[in-house]
């Protein structure tokens, strides 16, 4: 049984990675329904929480049906990280996760996210302060290092464990790689093999099929797998991997009814959570992944990403289901 503090995650958990502008409550709900054992919020700015930014506070919203859930945040200022941890704890997450892995310049170049990989002592100070400021289990997500010449994940893992983190998720790329090239899980395996390490180690990066998930589980010895981009438009990835682990069988891909049902639910929940305008606009990035590989889908996709009326959007989704199910549209 893999545990983060007292939070039980099963024998080999599959975790939904925190993804900016993706892993909001509507998307997390879909992934949870398809078997994600733990989910995380979008990453949240400590500075935004301290300064009471409305959009930042909205990202703190979590629901009991999502549990276990971690709220992830980032920052580089010690006082703000402590104050933000207190704000997060009041929302009652199962876990508080610190992001030391975001590679984008506006975060990393301001000594936050992956930027802390260039200042390990400060990373350790921040982490220790957060651990001491909260009763929640504190976990970390990070990368192998800043670049290939400064891979320091072995040191980072030991030092963060020493100051009290209770799990570590490692993306198998450096900051310099961003999301390019191939994730190098051999370094994740080295962390797991270190006899000093006793906390759960979760691997992240490039797992997008059940076969690869089983291969990486066996080869690299991790305690679980965190899945990010492979779940976008395909929350069924969690279901597929779990079924393969249990049976050795590859499930058929979801049919058009399942895809449309997921897109409809995603849109409906987005409207309910974000309101009409933002719910419609922020849903637009999700349509293409839901309907990828469908022949001649481009005209429908163009309509989905330009239409503003929810009723019309639902009608377009119904039309897609009818057309791609081989059924004729009945015009009322």
Give catalytic residue positions: 102
Burial class (CB in 10 A: 0-12, 13-18, 19+), 249: exposed
Helix (H) or strand (E) holding 95, with range, is strand 95-100
Length of the chain: 332
Report the distance separating Cα 121 and Cα 72, nearest Å: 21
HEC profile for 201-250?
A: EEEECCCCCHHHHHHHHHHHCCCEEEECHHHCCCCCHHHHHHHHHHHCCC
Residue with tokens 């503003």: 308
HEC profile for 127-153?
A: HHHHHHHCCCCEEEEEECECCHHHECH
Burial class (CB in 10 A: 0-12, 13-18, 19+), 261: middle
Closest CA to 187 of 156, 229, 224, 226: 156
Q: What share of the chain is helix, strand, coil (3-state, %, to 5)?
A: 50, 15, 40
């Amino acid at each position: 049984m893999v545990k983060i503090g007292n939070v039980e995650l099963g024998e080999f958990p599959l975790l939904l990675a925190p993804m900016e502008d993706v892993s909001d409550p509507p998307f997390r709900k879909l992934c949870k329904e398809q078997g994600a054992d733990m989910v995380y919020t979008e990453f949240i700015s400590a500075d935004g929480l301290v300064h009471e930014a409305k959009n930042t506070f909205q990202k703190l919203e979590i629901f009991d049906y999502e549990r276990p859930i971690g709220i992830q945040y980032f920052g580089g200022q010690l006082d703000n990280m402590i104050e933000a941890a207190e704000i997060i704890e009041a929302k009652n997450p199962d876990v508080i996760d610190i992001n030391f892995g975001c590679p984008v310049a506006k975060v990393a170049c301001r000594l936050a996210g992956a930027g802390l990989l260039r200042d390990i002592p400060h990373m350790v100070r921040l982490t220790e302060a957060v651990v001491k400021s909260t009763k929640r289990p504190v976990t970390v997500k990070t990368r192998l290092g800043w670049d290939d010449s400064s891979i320091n994940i072995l040191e980072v893992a030991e030092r963060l464990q020493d100051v009290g983190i209770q799990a570590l998720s490692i993306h198998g790329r450096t900051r310099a790689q961003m999301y390019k090239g191939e994730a190098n899980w051999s370094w994740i395996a080295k962390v797991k093999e270190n006899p000093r390490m006793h906390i759960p180690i979760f691997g992240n990066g490039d797992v997008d099929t059940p076969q690869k998930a089983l291969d990486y589980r066996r080869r690299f010895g991790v305690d679980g797998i965190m899945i990010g981009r492979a779940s976008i438009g395909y929350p069924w990835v969690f279901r597929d991997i779990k079924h393969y682990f249990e049976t050795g069988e590859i499930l058929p891909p979801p049919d058009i009814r399942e895809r449309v049902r997921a897109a409809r639910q995603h849109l409906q929940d987005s409207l309910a959570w974000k309101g009409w305008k933002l719910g419609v606009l922020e849903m637009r990035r999700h349509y293409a992944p839901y309907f990828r590989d469908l022949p001649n889908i481009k005209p429908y996709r163009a309509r989905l990403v330009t239409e503003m009326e929810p009723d019309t959007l639902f009608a377009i989704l119904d039309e897609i289901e009818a057309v791609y199910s081989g059924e004729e549209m009945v015009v009322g």
